Structure 1
Amino acid sequence: MNKRKLAGIGAAAIMALSLAAGPASAEGQGVSVSKNEDLNVPHLVSGELTKPSAKPAPSIVLDYLKKEKDLFRYSGEAASTFEVLSEEKDELGYTHVRLQQKHMGTPVFGSVLTAHVDKNGVLTAVSGTAVPNLEKKSSLAGQNKVTKADAYGIGKEAVEKKLGDKVDKFENEERPELVIHALDGEARYAYRMRFEVLDPAPGNFLVLVDAKTGEIIESLNEMHEAKGGKNKGGTDAISGTVVTGSGTGVLGDSKTFKTFSTADGYYMFDGTRGNGIYTYDGRNQTRIPGSLWLDADNRFNTSYDRAAVDAHTYAAWTYDYFRNVHNRNSYDNAGAELVSTVHYGRSYNNAGWTGSQMIYGDGDGYNFRAFSGSLDVVAHELTHAVTDFSADLIYQNESGAINESMSDIFGTLTEYHFNNNPDWLMGEDIYTPGTPGDALRSMADPTLAGDPDHYSKRYTGTQDNGGVHINSGIGNKMAYLLANGGTHYGVKVTGIGNDKVGKVMYRTLTQYLTPTSNYSHFRASAVRAATDLYGASSAEVASVKQAFSAVGVY
């Protein structure tokens, strides 16, 4: 599933160490630090980091960071170095604070921390990597010579070069924003911008341009593909009521789903979930969203209807999984509309999250059938949207592999939740319809598709954005073992079942992982998430440690 994102802060090894009582970092006992050895700063600090307090959670966090300047290796005021982005309380009584690192008022790209305060006002963890000693970086001195207008032109040209053709119209744009880019070890000012395009080919491009030289630092297609968004037509001006329709899916199975009864007929609009689920007909064109699907009798049983039936149904099921199991209201946790377009393009062998909606090709009938016919694919792609609105894992190298693995994990868990012919294969319902039993990937045995099942076997080249799909096999095998148990590379894992895996992984994704997480940080984050849920001495925490050890992640 060929989504493109930007590189994380390397694949640095993580070093765990204990802090004895005495330093400011050891307010309580059992404080531990996982460090990024390349940068010599924490990736995860956990334990009783502060004493109980009645202060607001952001104040507790900033007070701690102010005391820990030596540990985090920064100067200046904590409140100006770490901007509070959000504050969220969960059902366990924790308050989660997300912070953006800044330097002299400029955001540091990808440098986000999450901090976690329990119901007693004790800071229990700080997760994520902040770039150290930015005030000492000579590369940040001097004037930026490139204007925003110049940067925009350079960025547009870079996108057109990637696509091999001129772009007449961008569907959406994020204009240039000044940031500090330090993911390659060199801190420099850069303009960050985004271009969403459909013609001459679909893409959601992230571009960073050096603010001094005009050099392209990154030009990456971040579109989530199978190999969010605003209502783009909707029913605002249509009077009617939500009713139940029926139809036949891609595999010939019968389904029921919510539709919208009007004087014109029945639209594929479900107004019972969040701000609505909308399914459109692309009519084999590349302009989206297309026409809101309309039927005369509320029975969607023609062969042309099948892709729409599954897209509409599986979007609702994915919404229900996250809402009912994890109490998440759509991908942004604020009820965002789920918009899908089926029959996108002609024999289009792909599907994807564009950054604002889903698109589904019909496939060529040989390599793929209609992509909306696979629940795990639909849930996989919509999980990318969840990731974009939570951990925002940068889509290259290890952070990208974790991003891809999380989508496989929740695609599979959604399939099991609805007992929809569940298995630990990805895309088996739509891949090579003439060849039974195969799939895009196997989570039980990633090596079947040539992917690694152990960190020692990881891919370290530059293809596939540094192996985001290839190295997702490591996380996938971990999740399979954590759910089912087994012995792998001589390490015995006691399974905890799908439901607990879902709880641990969801908390890991939404509360502990950050844009630059690598596999070692994934392990530390999952252990901390399981500790929150089940206790430090629990069997579940022991199993999480076993599962990561079994795939060589420490």
Structure 2
Amino acid sequence: MKKTATLLLAGSLLVGASSSVFAADTNDLAPLGDYTPKLINQPTTITGASGDEKVWKFLDKQKRTLVSDGAESQDVKDLFEITKRQADSKTGTDHYRLNQVYQGIPVYGAEQTLHFDKSGNVSLYMGKVVNDLSDKLGAPEAAAPEQKVTEDVYADVKETAVSDTYNLVTPEISASEAISIAQKDAASKVGTLGEAQIAPSAKLYIYAPEGKEARLAYVTEVNVLEPAPVRTRYFVDAKDGSVLFQYDLIEHATGTGKGVLGDTKTFTVGTSGSRYVLTDTTRGNGIQTYTAANRTSLPGTTVSSTSTTFNDPAAVDAHAYAARVYDFYKSNFGRNSIDGRGMAIRSTAHYSTNYNNAFWNGSQMVYGDGDGTTFIPLSGDLDVIGHELTHGVTENTANLEYYGQSGALNESISDMFGNTIEGKNWMIGDAIYTPRVSGDALRYMDNPEKGDQPSRMDDFVNTSADNGGVHTNSGIPNKSFYLLAQGGTFDGVSVTGIGRSQAIQIVYRALNYYLTSTSDFSDYRSAMIQASTDLYGANSAQTTAVKNSLSAVGIL
């Protein structure tokens, strides 16, 4: 039976939070945006265009149904921007990522993906937009001239409206000021901030939360290790400098040489002078493993030995398992490291003292040694390392928001990959959690209720804790993935399993091409069905299994 762990996860307790349960389609991303889902899954023929022009031609044809904001009178290039282009040589398909814009400024989270089949026709458009942005921003409108109003008067009115609109999208504080405001707010909570782990930056967005006036805002992050690990995303009003919204991003894991469990491993090392070091230059831009020596400075010092035998089990596992994860992504998807461009994988073991955490901080992995009761060294479980490094992959693909259903998908997809990479059972964290209790784990993909998670949408937990239940409601897509891979009957729906290998191929394609930062469970269904259709065909056993596995848990 799972016990309550006093482990902070993204700013709230893993278990024990008081929550209500609902089975409704409320917008759990309301603090991030007043999003309207958009889905066009009927094949659409596009003729006489290629490259980006086919994107604009499709959007122009559909703009009245996509953005109800006087769209018929606007150039579609003033409503959307192309943010990424991907060509899949395996299937001959093209994939685009788009962002809604207003007066040239991106709308936060209003992202879509657009997909063309090998004939150049649209196969799927999906994502979210924010409707009526002018109204939400309080933008003035220039009325059309009436008969008794002179053209000169109308021109003056129109010029005034344009000027006022310009003022709406002109910041009155600088990006550096926004960064300073966020840092001061964080410092007021945790104390004087240490060195930033990623150089601070701030980007200008239109921020349009549900039920509130849209605002021009800078989005920035505070990412430090001292006096405590902090990675918080801030939305700072670009007019008056107030903090509009904030939430935690840091991912606290819930957790030759011998590893933590006493097993002997072989791995690639390098040399530095007369010593051997845990540096592998054969994979991407390298795998580098450090020790913090129970302090909190990162990355620490490179782990070294006088011989090719290393006697630091936690560092051995961090190094060897990072290579396993790299190899999994490379051999199965042709992906060169976390970012797809060979990003160096840095890991630090022995962070702090009795530290019951492991986390991806946006640039590297960090592992605590545990307190010996709740956890042993967290680098000792391959599925935990696979889970954490997959957060890095997600940041570099769909970039799922770590909030609400998007955050639950973020967590679940990390569980799917971590569990598949290890491939020995359907538990997460079982090797390093509660060493004095056998058979338990942090999460159970085959039986989420055993870990205090729901496994069906009827039991979806509506809560403001845990960033909107990201570690709770991840049990629902986890159960669906288990059914897809393993098969079985759940809630009266029978699923013929297709195995982990094919199931994870579908998930990866959905993550890489179809999902956006604010995708919810319904979007996940559309993405999975289309990804399976791409790989195996619309009428294949695999696509049928995808539909049934999602229907079984109520993701419709």
Provide TM-score, normalisation by structure 1. Answer: 0.86
Following TM superposition, by how much is the alpha carbon of 1:153 offset from its aligned partner in structure 2, in angstroms?
A: 2.9
Change (3 A) 1:3 1:62: farther
Q: Indicate conservation of the 8 Å contact 2:81/2:99, yes or no.
A: yes
The equivalent residue for 1:238 is: none
Give the residue type in structure 2 aligned to 1:43: K
Secondary structure at the aligned position of 1:128 is classed as strand
The equivalent residue for 2:377 is: 370
Give the residue type in structure 2 aligned to 1:60: K
The equivalent residue for 1:46 is: 41
Q: Which one of the candidate residues 80, 83, 86 is aligned to 1:85?
A: 83
The equivalent residue for 2:504 is: 502
Change (3 A) 1:128 1:450: same
Change (3 A) 1:12 1:148: farther
What is the distance in 1 between the residues matched to 2:333 and 2:538? 22
Following TM superposition, by how much is the alpha carbon of 1:510 offset from its aligned partner in structure 2, in angstroms?
A: 1.1
Q: Indicate conservation of the 8 Å contact 1:12/1:518, yes or no.
A: no
Point out the structure with max Rg over C-alpha. Answer: 2
The equivalent residue for 1:406 is: 413
Following TM superposition, by how much is the alpha carbon of 1:388 offset from its aligned partner in structure 2, in angstroms?
A: 0.4
Q: Which one of the candidate residues 59, 62, 66 is aligned to 1:65?
A: 59
- Greater shift in the superposed pair: 126-135 or 339-348: 126-135
What is the distance in 1 between the residues matched to 2:44 and 2:9? 40
Q: Which one of the candidate residues 499, 507, 521 is aligned to 1:519?
A: 521
What is the distance in 2 between the residues matched to 1:92 and 1:53? 22
1:255 counterpart = 2:265: yes
The equivalent residue for 2:114 is: 115
The equivalent residue for 1:240 is: none
Change (3 A) 1:4 1:381: farther
User: How far does the alpha carbon of each residue in 1:462-489 deviate from its partner, in whole angstroms, 9 at most, with x for none?
Assistant: 0111100000000100000111111111
Give the residue type in structure 2 aligned to 1:170: A
Change (3 A) 1:323 1:379: same
The equivalent residue for 2:477 is: 475
1:172 counterpart = 2:198: yes
Change (3 A) 1:298 1:518: same
Change (3 A) 1:264 1:183: farther
What is the distance in 2 between the residues matched to 1:502 and 1:171? 32
The equivalent residue for 1:419 is: none
The equivalent residue for 2:296 is: 286
Following TM superposition, by how much is the alpha carbon of 1:506 offset from its aligned partner in structure 2, in angstroms?
A: 0.6
- Greater shift in the superposed pair: 179-188 or 476-485: 179-188
Q: Indicate conservation of the 8 Å contact 1:483/1:497, yes or no.
A: yes
Secondary structure at the aligned position of 1:273 is classed as coil
Q: Indicate conservation of the 8 Å contact 1:393/1:517, yes or no.
A: yes
Q: Which one of the candidate residues 196, 199, 210 is aligned to 1:184?
A: 210
Secondary structure at the aligned position of 1:154 is classed as helix
Instruction: Summarize the alignment of residues 476-491 of structure 1 with structure 2, pairs less than 5 Å apart.
Output: 476-491=478-493
Following TM superposition, by how much is the alpha carbon of 1:167 offset from its aligned partner in structure 2, in angstroms?
A: 1.2
The equivalent residue for 2:16 is: none
1:131 counterpart = 2:141: no
Give the residue type in structure 1 aligned to 2:120: G
What is the distance in 2 between the residues matched to 1:64 and 1:531? 22
Secondary structure at the aligned position of 2:210 is classed as coil
Q: Indicate conservation of the 8 Å contact 1:177/1:191, yes or no.
A: yes
Gapped regions of structure 1 (runs ≥ 5): 6-10, 15-37, 228-245, 417-421
Q: Which one of the candidate residues 281, 305, 311 is aligned to 1:295?
A: 305
What is the distance in 1 between the residues matched to 2:177 and 2:84? 33
The equivalent residue for 1:30 is: none
Secondary structure at the aligned position of 1:378 is classed as helix
Following TM superposition, by how much is the alpha carbon of 1:84 offset from its aligned partner in structure 2, in angstroms?
A: 1.5
The equivalent residue for 1:452 is: 454
Following TM superposition, by how much is the alpha carbon of 1:330 offset from its aligned partner in structure 2, in angstroms?
A: 0.8
Q: Indicate conservation of the 8 Å contact 2:298/2:348, yes or no.
A: yes
1:338 counterpart = 2:345: yes
Q: Taking every aligned residue pair, what percent have the same amino acid on both sides?
A: 41
What is the distance in 2 between the residues matched to 1:296 and 1:552? 57
Following TM superposition, by how much is the alpha carbon of 1:148 offset from its aligned partner in structure 2, in angstroms?
A: 3.6
Following TM superposition, by how much is the alpha carbon of 1:346 offset from its aligned partner in structure 2, in angstroms?
A: 0.8
Secondary structure at the aligned position of 2:347 is classed as strand
State the 4+ residue runs in structure 1 displaced beyond 6 angstroms.
none
Provide TM-score, normalisation by structure 2. Answer: 0.86
Secondary structure at the aligned position of 1:102 is classed as strand
User: How far does the alpha carbon of each residue in 1:140-178 deviate from its partner, in whole angstroms, 9 at most, with x for none?
Assistant: 555554444442332112212342x12143232332322
Q: Indicate conservation of the 8 Å contact 1:393/1:400, yes or no.
A: yes
Secondary structure at the aligned position of 1:129 is classed as strand
The equivalent residue for 2:547 is: 545
What is the distance in 1 between the residues matched to 2:38 and 2:388? 28
Give the residue type in structure 2 aligned to 1:407: S
Secondary structure at the aligned position of 2:266 is classed as strand
Q: Indicate conservation of the 8 Å contact 2:115/2:123, yes or no.
A: yes
Instruction: Summarize the alignment of residues 289-438 of structure 1 with structure 2, pairs less than 5 Å apart.
Output: 289-300=299-310, 302=311, 305-416=312-423, 422-438=424-440
Alignment coverage as a number of residue pairs: 498
Change (3 A) 1:116 1:154: same
Q: Indicate conservation of the 8 Å contact 2:289/2:319, yes or no.
A: yes
Change (3 A) 1:296 1:190: same
What is the distance in 2 between the residues matched to 1:79 and 1:507? 28
Q: Indicate conservation of the 8 Å contact 2:35/2:129, yes or no.
A: no
Give the residue type in structure 1 aligned to 2:492: G
Change (3 A) 1:366 1:552: same
Q: Which one of the candidate residues 36, 50, 56 is aligned to 1:55?
A: 50
What is the distance in 2 between the residues matched to 1:274 and 1:404? 25
Gapped regions of structure 2 (runs ≥ 5): 1-7, 13-22, 27-32, 140-164
Q: Indicate conservation of the 8 Å contact 2:46/2:58, yes or no.
A: no
- Greater shift in the superposed pair: 352-361 or 105-114: 105-114
Change (3 A) 1:267 1:118: same
Q: Indicate conservation of the 8 Å contact 1:52/1:120, yes or no.
A: no
Q: Indicate conservation of the 8 Å contact 1:249/1:373, yes or no.
A: yes
